[in-house]
Structure 1
Amino acid sequence: MARDIMPQASLSSEINIATRSLHTELNKLITARLPLALPPFASDPTLYTAGLLHFAHIFLTFESLWNDLVPTDVPGTASPPTSPLLSFLLVNPYSEPELFTSPPSPQTLEFLQNLRPKGMARSSRVKKDLQYLTGLHPTDFDVMLAQYPGEKVAAFCAHTRRSVGHKPHVLVAYAWCFYMAVFSGGRWIRGELVKAGPDFWTSGAETGSSEAAAPLTEKGLSLWSFPGRRDGEDIKEAFKERLLAAETLFSDDERVDVIEEAKTIFKLCAALVHELDEKLGTDFEQMKRVKVAPPHGHQPQRKNDKSEVVTGKGSQAARTWLQRPEVTGAAVALGCLACAVVLRLSL
């Protein structure tokens, strides 16, 4: 009698099973730290901004790599959220000469072209939020993004470029890990952040400016906000439906590549959290020492209030790092890069 053949689990199910413990651990790390970036433990969004900047480079790297592979005129897909040159911006061609050497097959390229529904990419939103929260001039903002905020961030981005350069299909792992995190848990995170109140998030905006008047879903917290009447649920469902095409497209080895990359992503994300702890001086004892404000009717403390608001060395460290005056040399370098690019594209 022929032995019954067990049906193969879907790729998304295999990723979930393989990363379950890593996912749980990372979720605990992030949710435990989120309150420390909000009132009453913080008086402004500086700590949140520092954390967002750390993870922003990961979004900017893998999405720009994706855009390097996918033409911009594919029907039904969104325009690129970042310049495709961003994936090369912080690359040293001498230390990473093997990048972008394995183009995807036509079938994989077509799959990647159609995998992300319009509204899924996050890079433009991350950049919009960061520019608003930092209050930096556009030139200074570009300079800030032209340098990694930590060694773990640089290592993560280098790993991403190597992995995608050799095996473009592992972009599916980045899509699953990051988009599912944002589109599944984003509404909860947004709800927690909004509780800080508009004064907290607009503390750095000019009074009466159009930026200050715009809703938080359009700046400051747009990463966690989604277009459409279903608040992102339709986008997430469309993505999962399109992912089913991978079941017949990917070989067994390619499926393993995607699953193993997803496991690595969770480990590298945890490393980013620990790096932030070290840089910002995360102090969980704050949550024990500070009296938490009542859940209803809470008004965030003003910076010049005499009441106790914990800013701690973490907040000061983040503010100092974000405001480093390392502008001139980097601006010149960016200008040279832009000139070189214009010349190249005009040939």
Structure 2
Amino acid sequence: MSETHSAPGERVDVAASQAASLLERAQGRLVAVIGDPILDRYVYGEPQRVAREAPVLILRWAGDEERAGGAANAAANASALGARVELVGLVGQDRAADRLEALMEQQGIAHTLVRDAGRPTTVKTRYVAGSRQTVWQQVLRLDRWEASFAGGEVLARLVEAARLAASRADAVILSEYGAGTLAPPVRDAAMEAAKARGAPVVVDSRYRLLDFGGAFAATPNTGEAEHAVGRPLRVEQDFVEAGQKLLAKLDVHLLVLTRGEEGMSLFFRDGRRPLRLMAYRPREVYDVSGAGDTVISALALGLTVGEEHAVAAALLADVAAGLVVAKRGVATVSAGEVREALEAWAPEVYALPMPREVR
């Protein structure tokens, strides 16, 4: 048995029915997603030969599509799971912004996409090669984005939109992808309005995790956690020590450290022992793009029922993420898919030892 699948601690009895019940109770609750919307473009081609003028592969065009990414994908996932959703984000004055608005409207997602003529909408274009006889593989990605924060009237409009969305939500997601939406005044307005409302704030930050202290929960992946603590995480004790350190540094009640095929580790400010939740993997992993958006959406939706349901909400997030990575590209999973998966799942949850300095 590999180390990944060996028991990392003492087995804890947690039923999948807890997550199923939570999903039902959360239907129709309002989740506000405030962050960086991205337009994900996919260009598909069948490999033909190597070009004569350069050692590059020539692809014969086989199709293309556009999907909502980044904060827009978090919004799409929350909506697919049964939430009512409001998205607030910063975009350019361009066709990509038009397309994002159309995608949100198609999915019934309320949105305030504040336009800034001085920047482009963030677009990630993926070139994917394959055929009917082979697996489709991404061979190149081309990104277009602007990382700076907006100012003046654009910033004022963002602040007001974030404040309004958070003030009426049952949970708030802050989704940071380095594209300028979550300037400090926007972040502060959202967090203050959510606190006044009594709504939990859940943070997913690609580049600025330590700037979001004081939220209810954060969902860093292994790479983001390594960057925040300044060292690699290799064995279980590394993850436990890093998780406890980040829990204190961020002053959050719940830290969900996502670990890909190794599942996730949960850390609690109330003194409970950390938990290791093994990954739900019913099928082969196809594409991990956007899995973090699925995790935070499911977690936030579960927390709309109550912050005391953190473990069940994490179970919900684990199953949703396990389903979405079996799909190609940035994708969503429906409440129906999650319900079906939960019916046949026996979660593997383990209590982990506390590091010495926090015992």
TMscore range, shorter length: under 0.3
TM-score, normalised via structure 2 length: 0.22
Tell me which of the two structures has the higher relative contact order, counting C-alpha pairs closer than 8 angstroms and 6 or more residues apart.
1
Higher helix share: 1
Structure possessing the higher radius of gyration over alpha carbons: 1
TM-score, normalised via structure 1 length: 0.22
